[in-house]
Structure 1
Amino acid sequence: MAARFKRAESLDSLDEWGLGGRKFGTWITWFLLGGDLYTAYTFVAVPAAMFATGAVAGFFAVPYTIVLYPIIFLFMARLWSVSHRHGYVTTADFVRGRYDDRTLSLAVAVTGFVATMPYIALQLVGIQAVLEVAGIGGGDNWVAKDAPLFVAFAVLAAYTYTSGLRAPAVIAFVKDILIYIVIIVAVIYLPSQVGGWGEIFGAAKEKMATTNEATGAPTGSFIPGVGQGWAYATLGLGSALALFMYPHSVTASLSSSSRNTIRRNAAILPAYSFVLGLLALLGWVAIAAGTKPVGLDGNPNPQLVIPQLFEDFFPDWFAGVAFAAIAIGALVPAAIMSIAAANTFSRNIYKEWLKKDATPKQEAQVSKIVSLLVKAFALVFVLTLDKSNAINFQLLGGIWILQIFPAVVFSLFTRWFHRWGLLAGWAVGMVYGTIEAYQVVNPATGKHFGGSLGEIPGLGEMGYIAMTAFALNLVVTVVLSLVLNAAKVGNGRDRTEPGDYYADADDPRVAADLDVDPADPERPAPA
């Protein structure tokens, strides 16, 4: 049914297949963005981090999703407007139009595509967590063990391929309503079963103060202590700056029907942050409840803590509702992410570099095929690599995606930054962030890419590697821009006009619909 929602006569264009015709109003966009940003893995991982290591690793997600929305209020409406006027589908499209630079556009596109891949895999990890607690997929042979994931993959692939963004937009309603019901019931009911909130906070504080045998340090932090302020603050700010750089966040935003829809959603989306805060505290409820999250292999796995908590305390029928909410909460963002990654490949790699004369129909067909390949890759990733690798690569993706912030957001307001400076800053941030993340070794497993915190040069404090890389990115970008602008080195041709950044729904959507300059069909004529 969702696949037929507001179905167009033809889905043979990225506008229709990849952006739902750019017709979604405030409520559909709200549910779509909520379903997209607050993923199943969010609902599994945030309380798991609170359960395992406390506030620095887990609760920073709450303030970061609060800080996030004023930031997108400032720039996302401008991105929507200029994309509406020129038919841009991705941030790389915008960068290409702003600087007429294929290389910088490719850097933005590849970064977004690669950073999204492990994010999709983590949605399947979220489904796996539910299946393990439910005792499903536990056979000795690989067919019995992994059959449920293949079923989830088939459903996800089928409804995404046939309907594009419309189906996940509708299913997001189901997912979000279920999540709200489950969390509100859990927060009201569970504390009364474990002695109240005083008992919960006391148990969490006691656990975090105990010594971790693997590291010789305290297990975690009840609240950020001495030396943890920078880690908490940079994780929060860096994550807030990075989230709407992901292609799936942009895709959900550009599908809305007007720039005011974007602004209204920036105002009402913090309702999800409230629910996320309640959910995070369930990780500490599990401590007081004595929850033992153990996988089917017999090893402790904090990722199972919330499904196991529900399994232990709720009747089977309600635990089933909770498990369904998490599973559907994985399928919705995975669908949107695969569409966004496919749009990026089709528009900014296939059309820009492989087949410049590709028609809109060919673009859409390539995007559909790539969306299947992306999901298949995520499935193989989950089945062949251990879960810690998926998590670590997603952390690395967060470091990478922040490095395109200057090229995208700053360029929405000014062209003072030189395109070569932006490209050099991006490269420095990517290299530094990758090397620093590699050098983080998990003390329990000895594996590289064991976290996203490293020492901040000059401060001697631990902080989010992505923010340190971002700071280096800015320094390089500003210095080179000063030099190149002083030397009057060309900064490419700007295909946008100042008025494009304020265009609303009643303006033409693509350049072809505008009165154009006869000397340059790709550039709108001056008003």
Structure 2
Amino acid sequence: MKDVNVPALVVFVLFFLLVTAMGFLASRWRRADNAAHLDEWGLGGRSFGTWVTWFLLGGDLYTAYTFVAVPAAVYATGAAGFFAVPYTIIAYPLVFLFLPRLWSVSRVHGYVTPADFVRGRYGSRPLSLVVALTGILATMPYIALQLVGIQAVLDVLGVGGGENANWFVKDLPLFLAFGVLAAYTYSSGLRAPALIAFVKDALVYIVIIVAVIYIPLRLGGYGHIFGAAADHFKQAKAGGLTLPDNKQWTYATLGLGSAMALFMYPHSVTGVLASKSRNTVRRNMAIMPAYSLMLGLLALLGFMAIAAGVGSGVKGYNSQLSVPQLFANMFPDWFTGVAFAAIGIGALVPAAIMSIAAANLFTRNVYKEWLKPAATPADETRIAKLVSLLVKVGALVFVLGMDKQAAINLQLLGGLWILQTFVAIVGGLFTRWFHHWALFAGWAAGMVYGTWKAYGLASPATKHFGGNAAEIPGIGEIGYIGLTAFALNLIVAVALTLVLRAVKAPDGPDETKPSDYSAEAGDDELENAPEPVAAH
């Protein structure tokens, strides 16, 4: 067993016990009269105000993997790793245009998932099904990577032994973390991560503010840090403090495609639909960019790790360990425990929301739609709880059974896949012009093309799915595959819709009306709305 950092471990465990207690107590927070309802378990009763929603979305979108991976990318590649900062800056003005409309129509009709909306808007069960399955498929590796973040912390803490330790002893802490996460998510639903997100976000902000002030003081200032990083990249002949000309298309398309995909993920939509009003959604999209400032500061930790000599001289050093190791080297032991708690709790919150979102999708758009149309709200809640457990088990098996590079590759692939639902969801929020079979064909074209192109990419670490950028047909520049696949998706959807409209192909019924998309709490559309149970 490695040397265990006992003070850091004690602080880490204390915070973990605190959020565990909060997770179970959350079932009593804003308790509903009828808890056996998917609106209550899966959306927190649709009752969260501005601050709860802000912390919930922040805890959902800025995950443990973000905490580890963004500075790790900067550590490994330099300026290219900063793409996450502009993409979040682009994302919020973009989603400000359509998320309030999605909230309104979902609240009027009781939609719990984006696939519910697609089913109601286009009257197409197959299109709704593929949107739901795409969401589940894209979410699974994302949950797994939260466990990867916990593993990185445990590895640096020295808990569980080295690579040669007995597999059960080595992974026991991860099993325990998984068990606790599964238990309080099953018990409290979305209320658990919503309450814990307050602690998680507070810890993240404290750790980052301390890090960007304290660590540079120890390393001789930012001038020395950037100088050391520039020298490192020059010697490595890879990466740099600025982007080379041949990487700019990749950077720009990856940023734009990621911004478009961010709120297509079901867990992002879950946080939005849990808001109590349309104005709550709008206010949150206006103040969420505060997290982008935090993300920019977080990315600088990659340069600090280089200047601190983290991984220096170690062949094949795992860059995912660079930030945890930087904290262990630079901070006093007790504050290292605080920093590691921020990362660990930063894994539990999004993992809980993601498993709930995946369970909502399966329950509403597979189980109720295809397997048991007569399912009661209590049936839905029971199935969703069980599925949330199965999703977490799958993520745990995924992490333990595959190497970390495969998990990262599949998460990148998940971003490509989820982007292919953009045309059906966002397009449907503004127009009913698209034909549902054209949207289905466009989705299929984007999925097949994107997966095929990603499969053909090799890297030093893997033979297939080794990247997310390839030549853009007709342009010749290297760009994000997901955005190219989205362009193909849109072209096919438009072209086939023109054909189907020309031949007067029958269309599915639209259960929504224009006023549904601007409804606000207190409006007649909501006051007179039926109980929020899917009617399909």
CA offset digits 1:7-30 (Å, max 9, x no partner): 223321110000000000000000
Partners of 2:31 and 2:71 lie apart in 1 by 38
Total equivalences in the alignment: 508
The yes-or-no answer on 1:389 pairing with 2:428 is no
Compared with structure 1, are the counterparts of its residues 514 and 431 closer, same or farther at alpha carbon in structure 2 (3 Å cutoff)? same
Decide which structure has greater helix share: 2
Partners of 1:283 and 1:333 lie apart in 2 by 23
SS at match of 1:460: coil
Other-structure match for 1:362: 379
CA offset digits 1:178-216 (Å, max 9, x no partner): 0000000000111111121111112222222334xxxxx
SS at match of 1:409: helix
SS at match of 1:136: coil
Report the residue type matching 1:22 in the other structure.
Answer: R
Partners of 2:27 and 2:149 lie apart in 1 by 24
- TM score, norm. by length of structure 1: 0.94
The yes-or-no answer on 1:450 pairing with 2:473 is no
The yes-or-no answer on 1:82 pairing with 2:101 is no
The yes-or-no answer on 1:149 pairing with 2:174 is yes
Partners of 1:130 and 1:293 lie apart in 2 by 19
Partners of 1:2 and 1:134 lie apart in 2 by 29
Superposition map of 1:312-327 within 5 A? 312-327=329-344
Other-structure match for 1:266: 285
Partners of 2:317 and 2:349 lie apart in 1 by 28
Other-structure match for 1:45: 69
Measured after TM superposition, the shift of residue 511 of structure 1 is 10
Superposition map of 1:105-504 within 5 A? 105-138=128-161, 140-211=165-236, 218-292=237-311, 300-442=317-459, 444-504=460-520
Compared with structure 1, are the counterparts of its residues 489 and 416 closer, same or farther at alpha carbon in structure 2 (3 Å cutoff)? same
Whether the 8 Å CA contact 2:438–2:497 is kept in 1: the answer is yes
- Of 467-476 and 194-203, more deviation after overlay is shown by 194-203
Report the residue type matching 2:190 in the other structure.
Answer: L
Measured after TM superposition, the shift of residue 294 of structure 1 is 10
Compared with structure 1, are the counterparts of its residues 509 and 3 closer, same or farther at alpha carbon in structure 2 (3 Å cutoff)? farther
The yes-or-no answer on 1:67 pairing with 2:90 is yes
SS at match of 1:492: coil
Partners of 2:79 and 2:506 lie apart in 1 by 48
> After TM superposition, what 4+ stretches of structure 1 lie above 3 angstroms from structure 2?
507-515
Compared with structure 1, are the counterparts of its residues 508 and 10 closer, same or farther at alpha carbon in structure 2 (3 Å cutoff)? farther
Report the residue type matching 1:286 in the other structure.
Answer: A
SS at match of 1:222: coil
Measured after TM superposition, the shift of residue 2 of structure 1 is 2.9
Measured after TM superposition, the shift of residue 3 of structure 1 is 3.5
Whether the 8 Å CA contact 2:82–2:296 is kept in 1: the answer is yes
SS at match of 1:89: coil
Partners of 2:458 and 2:257 lie apart in 1 by 21
CA offset digits 1:243-291 (Å, max 9, x no partner): 1000000001000000000000000000000000000011001111111
Measured after TM superposition, the shift of residue 445 of structure 1 is 2.4
Partners of 1:152 and 1:246 lie apart in 2 by 24
Report the residue type matching 1:83 in the other structure.
Answer: S
Measured after TM superposition, the shift of residue 227 of structure 1 is 1.2
Whether the 8 Å CA contact 1:294–1:304 is kept in 2: the answer is no
SS at match of 1:440: coil
Whether the 8 Å CA contact 1:32–1:169 is kept in 2: the answer is yes
Other-structure match for 1:214: none
Instruction: Kindly report the root-mean-square deviation, in angstroms, between the aligned alpha carbons of the 2 structures.
Output: 1.8
Whether the 8 Å CA contact 1:121–1:378 is kept in 2: the answer is yes
Measured after TM superposition, the shift of residue 293 of structure 1 is 7.9
Other-structure match for 1:97: 120
Whether the 8 Å CA contact 1:437–1:452 is kept in 2: the answer is yes
Unaligned stretches of 5+ in structure 2?
1-24
SS at match of 2:104: helix
Measured after TM superposition, the shift of residue 4 of structure 1 is 2.4
SS at match of 2:245: coil
Compared with structure 1, are the counterparts of its residues 378 and 293 closer, same or farther at alpha carbon in structure 2 (3 Å cutoff)? farther
Whether the 8 Å CA contact 1:47–1:281 is kept in 2: the answer is yes
SS at match of 1:454: strand
The yes-or-no answer on 1:54 pairing with 2:78 is yes
Measured after TM superposition, the shift of residue 439 of structure 1 is 0.7
SS at match of 1:18: helix
Measured after TM superposition, the shift of residue 487 of structure 1 is 1.8
Whether the 8 Å CA contact 2:68–2:321 is kept in 1: the answer is yes
SS at match of 2:512: coil
Measured after TM superposition, the shift of residue 132 of structure 1 is 0.5
Measured after TM superposition, the shift of residue 492 of structure 1 is 1.1
Report the residue type matching 1:223 in the other structure.
Answer: T
Whether the 8 Å CA contact 1:293–1:305 is kept in 2: the answer is no
Unaligned stretches of 5+ in structure 1?
212-217, 516-520
Partners of 2:201 and 2:62 lie apart in 1 by 9
SS at match of 1:221: coil
Other-structure match for 1:10: 34
- TM score, norm. by length of structure 2: 0.92
Report the residue type matching 1:73 in the other structure.
Answer: F
- Of 220-229 and 170-179, more deviation after overlay is shown by 220-229
CA offset digits 1:130-175 (Å, max 9, x no partner): 0001101115111210010011101100110001000100000000
Compared with structure 1, are the counterparts of its residues 294 and 79 closer, same or farther at alpha carbon in structure 2 (3 Å cutoff)? farther
SS at match of 1:46: helix
Partners of 1:206 and 1:41 lie apart in 2 by 27
